[in-house]
Amino acid sequence: MTVAAALADLPTPCLILDEARMLRNIARLKTHLDGLGVALRPHLKTLKSVEAARRVLKDGNGPATVSTLKEAEVFAAAGVRDIIYAVGIAPQKLPRVIALRGAGCDLAVVLDTRVQAAAVAAMSRAVGDAIPALIEIDCDGHRAGLKPDDPEIVAIGRILHEGGAQLRGVLCHSGGSYGQVGPEALADFAEQERAAIVAAAETLRAAGLPCPVVSVGSTPTAHFARDLTGVTEVRAGVYVSQDLVMAGIGVCTPDDIALSVLATVIGHQSERGWTLVDAGWMALSRDRGTASQAVDQGYGLVCDVEGQVIPDLIVVGANQEHGIIGLRAGSTATAPDLPVGAQVRILPNHACATATEFDDYAVLPADGSAHIARWSRFRGW
Amino acid sequence: MTVAAALADLPTPCLILDEARMLRNIARLKTHLDGLGVALRPHLKTLKSVEAARRVLKDGNGPATVSTLKEAEVFAAAGVRDIIYAVGIAPQKLPRVIALRGAGCDLAVVLDTRVQAAAVAAMSRAVGDAIPALIEIDCDGHRAGLKPDDPEIVAIGRILHEGGAQLRGVLCHSGGSYGQVGPEALADFAEQERAAIVAAAETLRAAGLPCPVVSVGSTPTAHFARDLTGVTEVRAGVYVSQDLVMAGIGVCTPDDIALSVLATVIGHQSERGWTLVDAGWMALSRDRGTASQAVDQGYGLVCDVEGQVIPDLIVVGANQEHGIIGLRAGSTATAPDLPVGAQVRILPNHACATATEFDDYAVLPADGSAHIARWSRFRGW
């Protein structure tokens, strides 16, 4: 059975996961980090699927990173036993953390304020469970965290360590790496990230505090780091599927992207060179992450139903349930004939944003059989 | 019980629906269109909730508009009996249309090509059910549809009428009205929409074809139309909740917006004037619909927990699970003290995009009791 035949009967829009590409992406990063002698702690926020997590995690049970407590709860129930919830903890959420830990999951939290540290310490004492906490470090001015030499690091470390919690270490996320392009710049950014987190760990240790875990992470830096001395683990998430934003900075090519949205042609505006499909932003997401890159992919890059990129054909506009396909500005390519009822596949700008629009994946299995499997995914908090 | 007390225990992020504001929005448009003597066919794609639809629809059973067959199926199962599926029909989807019609729902489809018309006529003959179809008209160059004087209108009309389908009329959506600002411009745009659809109806009638339904629709034009002579019905959807995009063009004020995302403060970057909350784009959506307006609201306008706008405080940036709150550029306002653990409410740029990030609404009831109800919502195709 061909891929086209396997997909022909799927209601559209539909989210396709190419398992062979996914496994290739997983193997690539594992090989790179094995070579650097550093552990990988995959971030499960992109695919949010137990079936996918089984293929990503070592032995299927961890270590892992999550962005919501809902993810922690679902993956813990599926047997994952070592998780970092990598978004600053709100004190109100600590009862759910305690419940998960009580159920046997070694769940750690992240924080960067004294208020949070005091709340974690107080909860640890109250329930007799030393909640592990990592102090978030700001390595690039991107978002949260303390500067590596901020004296607050030691102050917070003491509140945790002396207050009954477990000071597990330091963690940073170099989100700014998404704005770097090419191997050299990404390697330099990875080194900046490494230097920041190692400095923060030294700050804690110099104060006599423990810092067993030194955690960095972002898909771009994970792939291009040349040396991770002092780092104990790397977190990355979107590498499993890759996407056009990653392709735009040179982390992968479009042929590595394992996710696509299957859509059906529903009309044309020939004068404008438009083909309309039934995948609008409700399916593709509103993410325009390539808008600021050298090549703007609109709302996605169009492939034929077999998954081959059609040169210069992109989703130039999107309404809620309408995608407008056309050639990119300035292209001299010829758009293919796409009659009403024809199917196309659209590569996403941002895998995390597109995937969350769907409740499951139609999986093209890695064995090449083209017998579509269904893997469920979840969302929420 | 105060609103703050009622919301204090909700896990965040959480989608709040202010029923009193919603009912006020519903009454406002009904009053306006009653005055013009035109029927309203609400579009249910924004809230996608049976509970909300019961408050929007006349007698709870229609007429209604939907953007997906999933919506048609859910609302038909809830008793809605008169629905237009207002996205160009893909021939592959006709079996679901037939199934819904067989179950007693008068579901009509929309199309603008001969291929679609032939498919609808063939299916009508095959099952002995004259599927009602409206021909989509392009009134503003925004998306789909035929120009009002395009001879294809008659050609398609004949395929339907003579081929065994039911030619029900013409339909347009003036999506371009979202780019107009203020009552005068919106009234002019409504008149352009009216003129286009009436011309298209006349094109059909002049050819001896029936055109009982003449359907226009968009929230901006629906509120500012001064005369709808020749139009039989108006479609509008986002008016039920309103949003910042609608406020930005003068359709409503921020105080009319019935949806907000409840979020909790999880940190600060004081040097940059940032407050971090646990509502990132996964909760707020990636929609930046106000970016092209006179006042860019970032990823949303911040209110206190009672729903009062905090001047100039917006979500200046968003990552997957982090929202970054700060004063808008150039503001001389003072940001309030928002300690870790505090709650805020964020008004959405685009209600349709934000609402779909959640599985239900936490409803502040119109009776002022502040006893939170839960209305479920759905998504998918």
pLDDT tens track, chain B, 381 positions: 788 889 999 999 999 999 999 999 999 999 999 999 999 999 999 999 999 999 999 788 889 999 999 999 999 999 999 999 999 999 999 999 999 999 999 999 999 999 999 999 999 999 999 999 999 999 998 899 999 999 999 999 999 999 999 999 999 999 999 999 999 999 999 999 999 999 999 999 999 999 999 999 999 999 999 999 999 999 999 999 999 999 999 999 999 999 999 999 999 999 999 999 999 999 999 999 999 999 999 999 999 999 999 999 999 999 999 999 999 999 999 999 999 999 999 999 999 999 999 999 999 999 988 799 999 999 999
Judging contacts by C-beta atoms under 8 Å, the chain A residues touching residue B94 are none
Give the other-Cβ count within 10 Å of A196's Cβ. 22
Inspect the interface and report whether the beta carbons of A341 and B92 lie closer than 8 Å.
yes
State how far residue B342 is from chain A, nearest Cα, in angstroms. Answer: 9
Tens digits of residue pLDDT in A205-223: 999 999 999 999 999 999 9
| DSSP bridge pairs for A344 | A263
Q: How much is the pLDDT for B61?
A: 87
Tens digits of residue pLDDT in A306-330: 999 999 999 999 999 999 999 999 9
Sheet hosting strand B106-111, strand order edge to edge: B39-42, B233-236, B213-217, B166-172, B132-137, B106-111, B82-85, B64-66
Under the banding of pLDDT at 50, 70 and 90, the label for residue A2 is: confident
Judging contacts by C-beta atoms under 8 Å, the chain B residues touching residue A381 are 11-13, 278, 283
Q: Which two tokens stand for residue B94?
A: 């006709």
Q: Comparing C-alpha atoms, which of B132, B120, B204, B201 is closest to residue B163?
A: B120
Q: Given the structure tokens 């109806």, which residue do they identify? A: B201
* pLDDT over 80 (residue A131): yes
Inspect the interface and report whether the beta carbons of A87 and B321 lie closer than 8 Å.
yes
Tens digits of residue pLDDT in A140-183: 988 999 999 999 999 999 999 999 999 999 999 999 999 999 99
CA–CA separation, A23 and B79 (whole Å):
46
Which amino acid, one-letter code, is at A269? Answer: Q
Q: How much is the pLDDT for A21?
A: 98
Q: How much is the pLDDT for B352?
A: 98
Q: How much is the pLDDT for B361?
A: 98
State how far residue A31 is from chain B, nearest Cα, in angstroms. Answer: 27
CA–CA separation, B202 and B209 (whole Å):
9
Judging contacts by C-beta atoms under 8 Å, the chain A residues touching residue B356 are 282, 357
Instruction: Considering only the beta carbons, identify the residue of B112, B116, B276 that sits closest to A144.
Output: B276
Instruction: Considering only the beta carbons, identify the residue of B92, B341, B357 that sits closest to A91.
Output: B341
Q: Comparing C-alpha atoms, which of A276, A2, A269, A372 is closest to residue B90?
A: A276
State how far residue A245 is from chain B, nearest Cα, in angstroms. Answer: 14
Judging contacts by C-beta atoms under 8 Å, the chain A residues touching residue B268 are 113
- Is residue B173 within 8 Å of residue B88, measured between CB atoms? no
Judging contacts by C-beta atoms under 8 Å, the chain B residues touching residue A143 are 269, 276, 317, 319, 322, 324
**What is the DSSP pairing of strand A233-236 with strand A213-217?**
parallel
Q: How far is CA A62 from CA A8, A58, A79, B14, in A?
A: 37, 6, 9, 29
Inspect the interface and report whether the beta carbons of A321 and B68 lie closer than 8 Å.
yes
Could you name the CATH architecture of A3-16+258-376?
Answer: Beta Barrel (2.40)
CATH superfamily for A38-240 is: Alanine racemase (3.20.20.10)
Asked whether the domain spanning A38-240 has the same topology as the one spanning A3-16+258-376, the reply is: no
Q: How much is the pLDDT for B369?
A: 86
Inspect the interface and report whether the beta carbons of A341 and B13 lie closer than 8 Å.
no
CA–CA separation, A282 and A299 (whole Å):
11
DSSP secondary structure code for residue A336 in this structure: P
Burial of B150 (0-12, 13-18, 19+ CB in 10 A): middle
Instruction: Considering only the beta carbons, identify the residue of B88, B340, B379 that sits closest to A116.
Output: B340
Judging contacts by C-beta atoms under 8 Å, the chain A residues touching residue B325 are none
Q: Which two tokens stand for residue B82?
A: 């008169």
Inspect the interface and report whether the beta carbons of B143 and A356 lie closer than 8 Å.
no
State how far residue A59 is from chain B, nearest Cα, in angstroms. Answer: 27
Instruction: Considering only the beta carbons, identify the residue of A92, A144, A264 that sits closest to B341.
Output: A92
Instruction: Considering only the beta carbons, identify the residue of A45, A111, A266 that sits closest to B87.
Output: A266
State how far residue A340 is from chain B, nearest Cα, in angstroms. Answer: 7
Name the closest residue on chain B to residue A145, using Cα atoms: B269
CA–CA separation, A306 and A379 (whole Å):
29
Name the closest residue on chain B to residue A13, using Cα atoms: B381
Best mutation target, B269, B338, B361, to test chain A (most A CBs within 10 A): B269
Instruction: Considering only the beta carbons, identify the residue of B136, B276, B381 that sits closest to A11.
Output: B381
Best mutation target, A92, A274, A361, to test chain B (most B CBs within 10 A): A92
Sorted by where each begins, the domain ranges of chain A are 3-16+258-376, 38-240
* pLDDT over 80 (residue A370): no
Tens digits of residue pLDDT in A5-54: 899 999 999 999 999 999 999 999 999 999 999 999 999 999 999 999 99
- Is residue A302 within 8 Å of residue A317, measured between CB atoms? no
- Average pLDDT in chain A: 97
Q: How far is CA B361 from CA B13, B16, B377, B378, in A?
A: 11, 6, 7, 11
State how far residue B338 is from chain A, nearest Cα, in angstroms. Answer: 13
Q: If you compute the radius of gyration of chain A from its CA atoms, what whole number of angstroms results?
A: 22
State how far residue B35 is from chain A, nearest Cα, in angstroms. Answer: 30
Best mutation target, B110, B278, B352, to test chain A (most A CBs within 10 A): B278
Give the other-Cβ count within 10 Å of B5's Cβ. 10
Judging contacts by C-beta atoms under 8 Å, the chain B residues touching residue A380 are 358-359
Name the closest residue on chain B to residue A271, using Cα atoms: B141
> Yes or no: is domain B3-15+258-376 CATH 1.25.40.10?
no
Inspect the interface and report whether the beta carbons of A45 and B278 lie closer than 8 Å.
no
